Amino acid sequence: MNEEKESLWQKYLRIFLVVSGYWIVSISTVFVNKTLLSDLNLNAPMFIAFYQTVMSALICHIMKILSKLYPSKVRFPESKPFDLETIKDVLPLSVMFLSMIVTNNLCLKYVSVAFYYIGRSLTTIFNVIFTFLILGEKTSAKCIFCCFVIILGFYLGVDQENIAGSLSVAGTVFGVLGSLSLSLYSIFTKRVLPKINQEVCIMLVPIIVLAGEIPEIINYEDLSITSSFWPLMTAGGVCGFAIGFFTSLQIKVTSALTHNISGTAKACAQTVLATYWYHQSKSFLWWFSNGIVLLVKCNCNIILYCHLIQVQFVF
């Protein structure tokens, strides 16, 4: 009996540590990227995304080496990122991953951290739409109703941000595009991140050139090795890799549904923390719009999960 209690206690402790780790890493990534994208005098969001992707790919390469040296302690999937067949299979997915990174960074550049979640709150809507259009799976009337409520919460949040005088149309548009990209990426992805990172690094280079960021980078006054810029950039890259790690771990020790609910609850904590950190005062309707989106998204995730279980049971 004592052994069972101890085992149960260890299980709950492991879940608590993994979920806490996911929250800390995810929130830290948003705040670090916001500092890089908005607080520094460097208008080069594509270069920031490129550097962080390179860092993530480098960590993946190190993990792969460690898995070969210490196979009993470190496990990492084997991949051939520059194999012609791999490139052919992963290229469409890489495009969606690239789009997701670029739009998310541009959204975070133009909007506040507090509004960031509302700006990217339409992912569930696009999930329902693309699940029907691409996979041919219908959803329930309850879920469709939840989608309409989420759209209402999104509209109310945008309206309140506009009344407060802090609305960025560009940031909101990039948020919607980010939600669309994330939805398509989630539907199509069936391969691990290490296969994607290297190709995204290559694909970002011409975008950096076309966006005219090379002069911005060259003329930036704080690129010295002793400055805080590079440690902050590196921290963002490490956090980017850590999010993927903790996401997989959280799904493993809980479930996909619990992960989605955890992410929604994390967004709530992130919003509250952002208003405190940046000394922002928001209206009742602004908070009400956040509450609508957060609560309804949780409910919609549960409905979608139950529908998925039913579909799997039928087949």
Q: What is the pLDDT of residue 86?
A: 59
DSSP 191: S
How far is residue 79's CA from residue 193's CA, in Å, rounded to a whole number?
10
DSSP state string for 51-83: HHHHHHHHHHHHHHHHHHH-TTT-------TT-
145 has a pLDDT exceeding 90? no
- pLDDT tier at 313, thresholds 50, 70, 90: very low
Q: What is the pLDDT of residue 4?
A: 56
Radius of gyration for the alpha carbons in the chain, expressed in angstroms and rounded: 20
Q: What is the pLDDT of residue 169?
A: 92
60 has a pLDDT exceeding 90? no
Residue pLDDT, tens place only, 5-39: 557 788 888 889 999 999 999 999 999 999 988 88
Measuring CA to CA, how many Å separate 215 from each of 25, 204, 211? 32, 16, 10
Q: What is the pLDDT of residue 122?
A: 85
Measuring CA to CA, how many Å separate 57 from each of 197, 241, 293? 5, 8, 34
- pLDDT tier at 208, thresholds 50, 70, 90: confident
Measuring CA to CA, how many Å separate 178 from each of 121, 209, 255? 10, 22, 24
Asked if 243 and 100 count as a contact pair (C-beta separation under 8 A), the reply is no
Identify the helix (H) or strand (E) that includes residue 37: none
Give the residue carrying structure tokens 């890259």.
Answer: 237
Average pLDDT, rounded, for the chain: 78
Hey, which bits of the chain come out as E strands? none
How far is residue 123's CA from residue 146's CA, in Å, rounded to a whole number?
13
> 61-70, 86-95, 228-237: which has the minimum mean pLDDT?
86-95
How far is residue 95's CA from residue 118's CA, in Å, rounded to a whole number?
24
Residue type, 274: A
Best CA proximity match to 137, nearest among 314, 308, 315 = 308
In the chain, the percentage of residues whose pLDDT exceeds 90 is 10
How far is residue 302's CA from residue 304's CA, in Å, rounded to a whole number?
5
User: pTM, whole model, 2 decimals?
Assistant: 0.80
77 has a pLDDT exceeding 70? no
How far is residue 151's CA from residue 200's CA, in Å, rounded to a whole number?
31
> 35-44, 74-83, 235-244, 297-306: which has the minimum mean pLDDT?
74-83
Per-domain residue ranges of the chain:
22-221+243-314
Measuring CA to CA, how many Å separate 266 from each of 125, 210, 224, 248, 273? 20, 36, 35, 16, 10
Measuring CA to CA, how many Å separate 34 from each of 40, 71, 106, 121, 154? 9, 37, 10, 18, 21
